[in-house]
Amino acid sequence: MTNDRRPLILMSPALLWLFGLMVVPCLLILALAFFRRGLYGGIEYTWTLENIALVFDPLYFKIFMKSAGIAGLAAGIASVLGYAAAYAIASMPRRHQPMLLFFAVLPFWSNYLVRTYAWIVLLNREGLIVNLARWFGFEGEMPKLLYTESAVVIGLVYNYLPFVILSCYAPLSRLNPEIAEASRDLGASGWKTFRRITLPMTVPGIATGFVFVFVLSIGNFVTPALLGGGQFQMIGNLVYAQFLTANDWPFGAALSMVLILVMLGLLMLQAVVTERASGGKKQIDG
Amino acid sequence: MTRPLLSLQNVKKCFGTIAAVDGVTLDIHENEFFALLGASGSGKTTLLRMLAGFEDLTAGDILLEGTSIANIPPNRRPVNLMFQTYALFPHMTVAQNIAYGLEMDKLPKAQIKTHVDEILQVIQLAHLAKRKPDQLSGGQRQRVALARALVKRPKVLLLDEPLGALDKKLRGEMQLELKRLQHEFGITFIVVTHDQEEALVMADRVAIMQDGALLQVGTPHEIYEFPETRFAADFIGVMNFLPVKVSRGAAHTSNGTRIATDKPLDLPDGSAAVAAIRPERLHVGIQSDNMLTGEITAIAYHGLDLLLHIMTPLADTPIISRMTADVADHHNPAVGQQITVGWSARDTHIFPA
Ligand SMILES: Nc1ncnc2c1ncn2[C@@H]1O[C@H](COP(=O)(O)OP(=O)(O)OP(=O)(O)O)[C@@H](O)[C@H]1O
Ligand SMILES: [Mg+2]
C-alpha cells in the first residue's frame, strides 16, 4: 500500500506550488469579474453579471474575434511550416536529427523581447527587408510592413514555430517506416501514403502545436504592442489596459475569464483529437 | 518445365562495402511454396525487399513473367509483402486495413466490401472487423497482415518471418493454415524463416542462404537427406560429425577404421574431412556397414523417442543417436552403459573439414 502513495508524495510539492501560486490567485482575480467597479478604480463588493455581459458587447467582442482570427492565422501558418520542417528533420539520417532540432529551437534560448525587436529592425521602413527588395531592383512604393496586422502574425509565427516543430517531430520520428512502406506495397503512391497514413497518424502533433500557438497568441500582448504599433488591440492588450491603465479590474477579470474558458475548451478538444488518433486503447469486448 | 514466374538473375545488393545479397540466381514457379532459410543477417529480408521494390539492385535483374521489374516502384508491382513487424495501420480498423489495398486498385465500393467480407471469413476474424490493430492478439494481427496482402491476389506473396512472433503451438497451426491458404488462392508464396523445421514442413522447395548467397536449393527431402555442404548439413536438423582422414581413396576414423559410404569421395589422400550421419540413421543391435562403440553419457527423453548421447574415442563431442520408444523399451538404455550402434553406407556423407 505504501507504494501507491509514492507518486502522490513526489507530486505534491509541484501540485502545492501550482495550486497556491497559480490556481488560488487566478481564482481570486476571476472572482472580481462578478463585482462592480468602484468609483475610483476600487472594487465595490456587490454581485453583478454586467462585466461578463460587457465582454459580449459588440465593441469588445469584435476585438475578441479579431484576436481569435489573428491567433488562428498564426497557428495555421505555424502548423504548416512547422509540420513541413519536422517532416524534413524526421526524414534526415537519424544521427543528424538532434542537431537539426537544436537549430530549430535555438531562437528559444534568446529573450522574447529581443527577438521581437529584431523584427522591428527587419520590417522597418528603412529596414533590412525593404533594402533587400531595393537591392534586387524593386522600384516604387514599398507596402507598409511594420505596424500592420501581418507584422503581428509574422511575429507570432516566428516566436512559436519551434513549439510546432517539436510537437510534430515527436510523432513523425516515432513512425515505423515499414508502415509507410506497407502502404506503398499495397499500391498507394507517395502522396496517397502521406494523406492516408502519415498525416492521420501524426495529426495529434499538429493539433497540439496548433492549440499551443493559438492559446499563446490569442492572449499575447507584447507582439501586438511592438509590431502592431498600437494600431489595433488584441485581447491581451485589452486585459493589460484594464488592469494597468483603465483600473477596471472587474472588467479585466471578466475578459480573462472568457479567454481562459476558450483556451480550456481548445485544450480539451486537442486532448480528444489525440485520444481518437491513438485509437483509444480500451474496450476489449466483442 | 514451363517458363518460371519469377526469375532472379545474379541479383546483388551492397550497403556500402558489405554485400547483403551477393549474386543470387533462382527461378520460382507458378503456385510454388518457396522457403528462404538462413541464419540471422544472411540477407533474407534484403532479398525480399528487393523483390517488393524497396531496395534497388546493385547488380543483376529480376524478371516477372519474362519482363524486368527491377525499375518498377513498389506500388506498381503485382507483388505484396507481409512485413516481419506486420506494419498494420494503427488508425484503421481491421476491415479498413484489408480494404486499403483494394481502394488503391480503385475497385468499386461494393466489390471491395465483398472481397473484404470474404477474406475475413477465410481468416476467421469476421467478428473483429471493427477492432483496431492494438485491440488484437499477436496471432490475430498476423492473420490481418496476411489477409491484407492476400486480398490483393498478387502474383507473388512475400512473407518475412510470418510466424516469428507466435508461440510454438500457434506456429504449428498457422504453418498448416498458410499452406492451406496458398493452395486455396493459388498464389506463389516466398516465405522467409530461420526455423528450419518450419521450412521443411511448409515448403515445396527450400533455399538455404548464407552470407547473401544461396548455398543449396531443393525439395525439403533433398535438403534434408542430401546436403551438399557441411554448413547445410549442420544447419538443417541434427547431424553427427565424425572427424576422418582420407587415405587410399577412403575415409578413416582416428583409430584407422574405414568408413563405408556409397557417395563418391573426391578428396585427395591425406586431407582432413568429416563423416556426417543423422541421429535417426544410427541403429542399435543390427549388423551394419559401419559400427561404433561408446558409453552412454546422457539420455534425453522426448516422448516419441529418446536421444542417446554416446561418447566415443573418435570425436570430442558425443554422437547422438535417436531411438524410438518401442526400441528403447526393448533395449533399456542407461547412462554409463556401453553401446554399439551401426549405420549403412547409404546414410554416410563425407564433407571436407
Ligand atoms: N539498410 C541497411 N543498411 C546497411 N546494412 C544493412 C541494411 N539492411 C541490412 N543490412 C545488412 O545486410 C545484412 C543482411 O540483412 P538482412 O536484414 O537481409 O538479414 P536477415 O537474413 O533478414 O536477418 P534476420 O534473420 O535477422 O532478419 C546484415 O549484415 C545487415 O546488417
Ligand atoms: Mg530479416
Task: Provide the pLDDT for residue A279.
Answer: 55
Candidates B165, B175, B108, B104; CA nearest to B140 is: B165
Q: Does residue B16 sit at the A interface (CB-CB below 8 Å)? A: no
User: Strand pairing partners for B33?
Assistant: B189
Task: Provide the pLDDT for residue B152.
Answer: 93
In chain A the domains, ranked by start, together with CATH numbers, are: 51-285 (1.10.3720.10)
Beta strand segments in A171-212, E: none
For A36-40, A190-194, A215-219, B185-189, which range has the lowest pLDDT when averaged over its residues? A36-40
Per-residue confidence band for B88, with pLDDT thresholds at 50, 70 and 90:
very high
Q: Percent of chain B at pLDDT above 90?
A: 72
Annotate B185-204 with b (16+ C-beta within 10 A) or e (fewer). Answer: bebbbbbbbbbbebbbbbbb
Task: Dump pLDDT digits (tens) for B53-80.
Answer: 999 999 999 999 999 999 999 999 999 9
Is B80:B157 a contact under the CB 8 Å cutoff? yes
Beta strand segments in chain B, E: 6-15, 18-28, 33-38, 59-64, 67-68, 79-82, 156-160, 188-193, 205-210, 213-218, 240-247, 250-252, 258-259, 272-277, 283-284, 290-301, 305-311, 319-324, 338-343, 349-352
In chain B the domains, ranked by start, together with CATH numbers, are: 6-225 (3.40.50.300), 238-352 (2.40.50.140)
Give the whole-angstrom CA distance, residue A29 versus residue A68: 23
Candidates A211, A94, A105; CA nearest to A165 is: A105
Interfacial A residues in 183-212 facing B (CB < 8 Å):
183-189, 192, 196-197, 200-201
**Lining residues, ligand 1, CB within 6 Å:** B 15, 18, 20, 38, 40-46, 194
How close is the Cα of B164 to the center of ligand 1, in Å? 16
pTM of the model: 0.83
Interface confidence (ipTM) of the complex: 0.84
Give the whole-angstrom CA distance, residue A55 versus residue B129: 50
Please provide the DSSP assignment of B33-75 as one string: EEEEEE-TTSSHHHHHHHHHTSS--SEEEEEETTEE-TTS-GG
Mean pLDDT of A73-101: 95
How close is the Cα of B138 to the center of ligand 2, in Å? 18
Say if residue A44's pLDDT is above 80. yes
Give the whole-angstrom CA distance, residue A55 versus residue A64: 8
Task: Provide the pLDDT for residue A136.
Answer: 86
Mean pLDDT of B279-290: 90
Task: Provide the pLDDT for residue A286.
Answer: 32
User: Strand pairing partners for A210?
Assistant: none
User: B134 and A281: CB-CB below 8 Å?
Assistant: yes
Across chain A, mean pLDDT equals 88
Residues in chain A: 286
Indicate which ligand has the atom closest to the C-alpha of B15. Answer: 1
Interface test with A, best of B15, B83, B140, B150 (most A CBs within 10 A): B83
Residue A44 parent element (H or E):
strand A43-47
Contacts of B302 (CB under 8 A, 6+ apart): none
Contacts of A56 (CB under 8 A, 6+ apart): none
Is A57:A63 a contact under the CB 8 Å cutoff? no
